[in-house]
Structure 1
């Protein structure tokens, strides 16, 4: 080893151990750097709200010693004059995967309980034992990109699993070791809605399954912590330990943030949410969570709408998102929701500042913007005393800029991290960008210098002809070469200038013939900006109003409850009074107040219903609209999951169903497993939040299923019990036997492990929860009734039940109802015996019969589906109408509230233009609890308004493209329709 190499290695080693004073030093002379560094005459942002003009920042050993206007500078200080410069705290990203490789996905799908991590929790997707520190490796290339974007610290973690384990707080310093870079080994515990890619374990495969699993982990961890488990579980131990850390959930959208806020409340977990940039749409509810948010700045690009035919495919919700999302940070700030920014979703770190400048243009205050990059992320991590500001004792993490950090013309000179300087652009860098012209050999040239300040580019033109140009700029020496206007000449003209004044270029020019001369070019003053352009730059862009929900057919303001008097209607009461001609109905305080003739009410809104029909709202006993998930198929029993967790109040099918006279539905789990998930019974209150849709004091229901789907004969799983109809029966017996044992444990008074799945099954045995069972074949329907009778409960409703006519007498004896299709048959093998007289035969045998949809399109015309039983089965008009109103209300145990027009019941009403069982009938008004959620006249007006709004948004996108902004192709979104057998789920 040469002496020079040895000394170099010794020097580098001395740097790496500067923070490790306890390390022995036996191989040479130990020296310590004890000097201070003082930055004087700067505008110092100690914090976003504490600013010092012409101040001094004093640092030593990687920490801030003092800031102020009259700081005493020690003698052993390096003094840097920062006149006309600004100093800001470096930025922080709380949600990063810096230095951690993306885990590789394992292909295939395994069995439901095929956990591969022995000694850990039974579910592979629960990984609180993962620690980012064990996977992290410093990456200087990424660190350099982050520093150039202004970041000094990132909180990194392994982005894999539902519970992902702990993060690590990293300072982005290359000339040190992890001993000083790592500011906190375990800084937060991370969660997500997505499974681990490192496991084939199938459960959960839905969002509601994820939510149920998080609840069960919470109960199991408490059970484990109390010493009730003999085995060692490293995952639960880590989970219990990590609960003292900040808990960060990657929700990805405002609707998921609201959902997991409820899970957090149930499990005593205070989440910080990684949002989706759409929080503005439900800002009142977002604020009510009292949570902090980590917000991405990946605003949508404009669509390329130059083709008018393709432009028709752009949805109003997507067009609005392009216009509205840049205002999200402003709206969060106005509502005092704490938030920080993250690079998540951006292609590169350098994309942060342009998008942040856009948010500022849309009204975000610069103080709030700076807080979101500095003090707020520090506070989220509980590190406000050490990072995010330049207060005394904090890490010396700061930026030196030429001015306002958010100005697009500001130059970032240096990013200091832990007191270590990283030069982005030399402070002596001269900005030569601009427009010049000069004359050589009698010919006039135009020179334009643009691009990055440190790597400018040039274009030269003459006589309106653009010439090939090369520019280099280094150490204040400018060299420009450009081709001749004479195409026959292959020689270049070369310009050389030493830059002292960036507004003037002067020096030597070498002509194509080799002759030398001098040249002089002065930068042109900025062109006068027109008043119109000035106004455009100054004004906040127009943001279109938010509607409820914020998509097609949304309300500008939520409709209010009214007192309404319907005059002279044909009233279908569904009560003993039958159909009443020319009758008045008064609606007050959301209830049916009076029914009679010549009713009067001074403050009522009068609706002339002469020649029209007034009915109670249609009730669909079996639907899959208004949900983000339908099946949790990862296990043969998913009683622990609930559709209430994943209600989607923004599903446009709600509005479409209102237009078909539907006011209430049961949103059912699918039929992927014998014991499915719990139902949600909701009212279609378009524009309200998910919680406000669910019936108050809702009856408890759960979905069971029989037939082909549950034994997986039509979706090729073959790795889950049961595989036969015999196995389905044994599974029911096994689970209810376990539920009996669970009840006995609870009653014993001894400690027991809370199991949400068995809690739900116990409710069935205790007659506190009702079953709606997907069914087709006579033998299986008989089987389930016998199983139920063995365990002393009843099956409430057999849904589909296209062979119900074969055993209607047994259903009556058992006490089961039937909710069926009007005339579906032969769409799969077990439906071959279906007949259109099915509903009528069950009805004639005393079974409570409903006609259901199981289909988002059919539910819009259930009135016509009910009419088919008149044609095929000869039932009366009133009984046919009850098939979709009073009877489903009875099956759902809500007939005391809805299902008929009776004084005291909820005012859930539909005004029809014609006989309600006619194909010509239109729902003119659909009212829920005295609130008009659909009005056919408003609908027509809305279509005109949406057309005008869409046209204006398309024009704005065209203008954006003409200005050179990036555009993307239109991706037309189909409205995915769920059915019983839909297996694939949207995890987000």
Structure 2
């Protein structure tokens, strides 16, 4: 009913021109009154300026604009000489005028709300929502946007993963809702954030949110073909809104790429909201061809005055403070299409300060204006209506005192739909500034700010208590002397004179009247601050207050911006971004390392092949592969690395790791989540990648956690530090999935565990149930009403031995159970990981053909591992099981060479076989042993050069190479450490300088990445 009412209101807007509609408003609101503004300088669009122009406005639109425009008879004419007109800004991503969504109880449940029958099974898919359903116009909220120069806002309810449609709203405080609602449905919106209106627990991770969105769109396509037996309003809405612009609130640069990849999978090109750090992966983001809606909430400097607290702030956070304002300029130079949003700012008018900060790095005023006008209009497919000042378009424009982005400029008026919103009378003179005057024989400095709302009067030793009132060009100042001889109040009545000073009369406390003058200081300027911003002028940013050049001696430069460079318009030197690296954190490379031809000479080579350990042997690496192994090798183009006294091994392979994952390691919302994949959320910037390289690790399997019996798919990566996530993942990667048994999946250690299963026998039933469903799913393929189900597709891959299972396990009864279930369904478990009771069933494991990836010597850290022994690995090995030692821990993963040595201590495994526990054997378990795990001609050059016996506690990698690329070099690491120390100190000095100049700072804090473990339930 409410939607019908708004349709009527919209029709009513069109009908208001009809003669039989009465109009009781004042003359300023009458639509058929023609208004004319003359003698103005008009920026019709970025880069196009028209002087001495005339604008004719009728019925809310521009009827004519130009220099030789005929003025219609009976028009209301305003001479606006000396003012400048610009298109009003457009906010493409707001939530103004939205009522808050009702909040469900905080506790989560597994299933959807029964009260939502007729909608999608997951409550966080709320595509049926319409902004109209939550709309309530708030003039005070709108006024904040008007004060900042905005005329149009696209708004929607920021709630849910699929949020439904937004609406395009004109900020016409003089109009009605029928006039303000320009588009009832302007776009379709998505995010990673669950709905506040639902208690449903799924998804609990970013990879779960991505999987949910994939499946919802697959289901919508299936539903559109008429196969569903039920009505689903959410899927109907997804289908109905396909033709709209599709928006996705992503966040950082990595999420921008993830969202674009999702769009490729489901056939959508999203407009992506986010990318404040896009400059760090600008080539990859450019390649998406996505338009961005770009936040500009650049961070404040950190308060690093306390040396102890300063140590909490990472180098990457310090760099972000220095570099983030360059982001818009970089995107413009790369040709990335972006609109700018106020999202994240305290108030819309803060946009000016942020943009002026960006301009200090080279962003032009035309680029900034385009990002606020033409580009958001283009993105929203509303260019025929707004964005530029042209005949036939809405009369949405700003009247200002000068250059819109100049910090002294005042916005006088904001016209929306041809209706004037007066912000400051342009006929009233600006009196803000610093003046000098003499009172009672003492020279004082008088600072007026806030467009005449604040005043401070002081001499070298005295500050007068003072107040100011400015009205109708008359200034009334009250000043109370603070000395003991004079308790009275002086009054000053003055006006601005032609020399920009003040002239008037002083009424002194002793009753005398004398002439009063105050001269404007020649270098005086507006002193607006955060507490004086009334919206009628553009507030200063902290960075603008620092006019002194900063020391930019740090190495590196910003692509597209030379260092130092000059602003073409002002010839002012642009700020430098300092060092940029891959990744852009400490220990990042200034250039991504590339393949080399390398000859390792005279090393002790651990081949892990029949040849065993070879003394005084050479290994030639060429084109990323091991080209030759032998003595006295040579290659004219090779870089020779002397391995005398050193040991060359294949790189360590970690079969079970949780490093380098974003957005949660567990999708714990359901007992089966085969639809999710770690490949969606690989974090290429995790410093643990570099630390693992320093420990000789070259490949890792990034596993889903152990919160459910059937977990998510894994990602097998090479630790190519400095490369994007997609280039880390093995090409033609073997396909794996994580299963789990025991305490974690039955939630025995969770206080409020409510999800099935709750017992070990329930865990077995989950496997039987889902594999039975996968069989039925296979039988349904080819039928007319077949529904693609990503979860079932993955389970079917297991049944067909196209995907391999790594299973978290401890207790022998469950180990036996899962092997039997697998055999019943015609496949084999690939790997039992942890497997601390493997020694009890090693013979059965060997018969089944399953490998064991275990801990070297962990035991008794929870109840179900009470029977664990450190001889476990050796016993399984003796029984013919392929055994690996894994880390499951970010700290242990860089010391796996020492873990291998424990197989020699506990079980007397030979040194060659023990070394295979962390190299060849895990490579076999991951089915990548044809590429890595041993030193053999033709294999990938994943190599580590150690300074001592590789299993010694003193052993340290000197070089770690992957695909013939050196990713860790101990000498380069030493240079890194010095460079990081030097750069940190420089940035600390710059932030201290900022604080000393009174700039706004934020408390020093530690942004620490969560180190995931199997049972981590966190996003």
Same fold (TM over 0.5): yes
CA contact (8 A) 1:447 1:458 kept: no
Q: Distance in 2 between matches of 1:940 and 1:97?
A: 50
Contact 2:275 2:292 (8 Å CA) reproduced: no
Report what 1:956 is aligned to.
990
After superposing the two structures, state which structure 1 stretch, 540-549 or 954-963, moved more.
540-549
Change (3 A) 1:864 1:714: same
Indicate conservation of the 8 Å contact 1:484/1:512, yes or no: no
Provide closer, same or farther for how the CA distance between residues 700 and 439 of structure 1 changes in structure 2, counting only shifts above 3 A: closer
Give the distance between the partners of 1:408 and 1:783, measured in 2 at CA.
72
The corresponding residue for 1:9 is: none
Residue aligning to 2:243: 244
Name the CA shift for 1:440/1:918 in 2 (closer, same or farther; >3 Å). closer
Match of 2:854 in 1: 820
- The alpha-carbon distance between structure 1 residues 583 and 796, as it changes in their structure 2 partners (threshold 3 A), is same
In structure 2, the gaps of 5 or more residues are 1-8, 526-545, 551-569
SS in 1 for 2:419: coil
Matched residues in 2 for 1:533 and 1:721: separation? 63
Q: Deviations over 1:136-170 (max 9, x none)?
A: 11100011111001100000000000000000100
- Residues 675-690 of structure 1 mapped to structure 2, 5 A cutoff: 675-690=710-725
Aligned residue number for residue 20 of structure 1: 16
**In the comparison of the two structures, how many residue pairs are matched?**
967
SS of equivalent residue, structure 1 residue 422: strand
Q: Secondary structure at the match of 1:881?
A: helix
Q: Distance in 1 between matches of 2:614 and 2:137?
A: 79
Q: Say yes or no: does 1:790 pair with 2:786.
A: no
Checking the alignment, whether the CA contact within 8 Å between 1:449 and 1:456 is kept in structure 2 is: no
Q: Confirm or deny that 1:811 pairs with 2:845.
A: yes
Query: What residue number does 2:673 align with?
Result: 638
Q: For the residues of structure 1 that align with 2:947 and 2:456, how far apart are their CA atoms? A: 70
Pair 750,134 (structure 1): closer, same or farther in 2 beyond 3 Å: closer
Paired residues of 1:776 and 1:830 also in contact (CA < 8 A): yes
Residues 323 and 615 of structure 1, relative CA distance in 2, 3 Å threshold: same
1:941 — aligned with what?
Answer: 975
Distance in 2, matches of 1:163 and 1:29, equals 41
CA drift of 1:561 comes to: 0.2
Runs of 4+ in structure 1 displaced over 6 angstroms? 26-32, 534-537
Are 2:766 and 1:731 aligned? yes
Deviations 1:405-434 (A, max 9, x none): 000001111000000001111111212223
Map of 1:900-979 to 2, 5 A cutoff?
A: 900-979=934-1013
Which residue does 1:3 correspond to in 2? Answer: none
* Paired position in structure 1 for 2:464: 467
Partner in structure 2 of residue 89 of structure 1: 87
Structure 1: 5+ residue stretches without partners: 1-12
In the alignment, does 2:51 pair up with 1:53?
yes
Q: Name the structure 2 match of 1:513.
A: 510
Deviation of the 1:70 alpha carbon = 1.1
Task: Say if 1:432 and 1:449, in contact at 8 Å, map to a contact too.
Answer: no
Answer yes or no: is 1:487 the counterpart of 2:496.
no
Q: 2:445–2:459: 8 Å Cα contact kept in structure 1?
A: no
Q: Counterparts of 2:904 and 2:495 in 1: how far apart (Å)?
A: 96
Q: What is residue 550 of structure 1 aligned with on the other side?
A: 584
Provide the secondary structure at the position in 2 that maps to 1:944.
helix
- Give CA deviations for 1:428-482 in whole Å, capped at 9, x if unaligned: 12122233333345x13323233222x3422223463111111111101111111
> Matched residues in 2 for 1:639 and 1:716: separation?
25
Give 2:72's aligned residue: 74
Q: Which residue of 2 aligns with 1:842?
A: 876
What secondary structure is seen at the aligned counterpart in 1 of 2:722?
coil
Give the counterpart of 1:700 among 735, 739, 745: 735
Looking at structure 2, the residues matched to 527 and 45 of structure 1 have their Cα atoms a distance apart, in angstroms, of 29
State the Cα deviation string for residues 715-756 of structure 1 (Å, max 9, x = none). Answer: 23432111000011111101100000111111x544310000
Equivalent residue, structure 2, for 1:833: 867
CA contact (8 A) 2:467 2:478 kept: yes
Of 518-527 and 487-496, more deviation after overlay is shown by: 518-527
* SS of the residue 1:468 aligns to: strand
Look up the match of 1:425: 424
Q: Give the structure 1 partner of residue 645 of structure 2.
A: 611
| Contact 1:587 1:907 survives alignment (8 Å) | yes
Conserved 8 A contact 1:794-1:815: yes
**Alignment partner of 2:887: what SS?**
coil
**Contact kept in structure 1, 2:256 and 2:275, CA below 8 Å:** no
Q: After superposition, what is the alpha-carbon deviation per residue over 1:653-693, rounded to whole angstroms, capped at 9, x for unaligned? A: 00000000000000000000000000100000000000000
- 1:8 paired residue number: none
What's the CA shift for 1:34?
3.0
TM-score normalised to the size of structure 1?
Answer: 0.96
Task: Measure how far apart 1:84 and its partner are.
Answer: 1.9
Secondary structure in structure 2 of the residue aligned to 1:332? helix
- Aligned counterpart in structure 1 of residue 99 of structure 2, from 98, 101, 114: 101
Is the contact made by 2:202 and 2:670 (CA closer than 8 Å) also made in structure 1?
yes
CA distance in 1, matches of 2:629, 2:342: 61
For residues 111-147 of structure 1, what are the alpha-carbon distances to aligned partners after superposition, in whole Å with 9 as ceiling and x for unaligned? 3223341210000000011000111111000111110
Tell me how far 1:485 sits from its aligned partner.
Answer: 5.1
Q: d(CA) in 2 for partners of 1:901 and 1:765?
A: 34
Q: 1:75 to 1:28 in 2, by over 3 A?
A: closer
* Residues 1:326 and 2:321 aligned together: no
1:260 is aligned to 2:295: no
Q: Deviations over 1:867-915 (max 9, x none)?
A: 0010111010000000111111111111110010000000000000000
Distance 1:486 1:181, change over 3 A: same
- Distance between the aligned counterparts of 1:329 and 1:361, measured in 2? 11
**What displacement does 1:309 show?**
2.2
Contact 1:437/1:444, CA 8 A, preserved across alignment: no
Structure 1 residues 890 and 477: alpha-carbon distance in aligned structure 2, compared to 1, 3 A threshold: same
Match of 2:799? 765
CA-CA distance at 1:527 after TM superposition: 6.8
Pairing of 1:735-746 with structure 2 (within 5 A): 735-746=770-781
Instruction: Tell me the secondary structure at the aligned position of residue 145 of structure 2.
Output: helix
Distance in 2 (alpha carbons) for counterparts of 1:188 and 1:391: 25
Alpha-carbon distance between aligned partners in 2 of 1:817 and 1:808, rounded to the nearest angstrom:
10
Whole-Å separation in 2 of the counterparts to 1:440 and 1:724: 87
Q: Deviations over 1:56-108 (max 9, x none)?
A: 22211110112211112212222222222111000001110011123243233
Structure 2 vs 1, CA of residues 218 and 29 (structure 1 numbering), >3 Å: closer, same or farther?
closer
Structure 1 residues 578-617: aligned runs within 5 Å: 578-617=612-651
User: What does residue range 344-355 of structure 1 map to in structure 2 within 5 Å?
Assistant: 344-355=343-354
Q: Which residue of 1 aligns with 2:359?
A: 360
Alpha carbons 2:31, 2:60 under 8 Å: kept: no
Aligned counterparts of 2:753 and 2:459: Cα–Cα separation in 1: 75
Worse-superposed segment, 862-871 or 539-548:
539-548
Q: Is the 8 A contact 1:216 1:756 kept in 2?
A: yes
Cα deviation, 1:811-833, whole Å, max 9, x if unaligned, reads: 01111000000000000000000
Report the secondary structure of 1:187's partner residue: strand
Distance in 1 (CA, whole Å) between partners of 2:24 and 2:76 is 27
2:475 counterpart of 1:478: yes
1:7 corresponds to: none
Work out whether 1:177 is the aligned partner of 2:176.
yes
The Cα shift of 1:534 comes to 7.5
Q: Which moved more, 1:517-526 or 1:774-783?
A: 517-526
CA distance in 2, matches of 1:569, 1:484: 86
Partner of 1:525: 522
1:406 aligns with 2:386: no
d(CA) in 1 for partners of 2:150, 2:720: 45
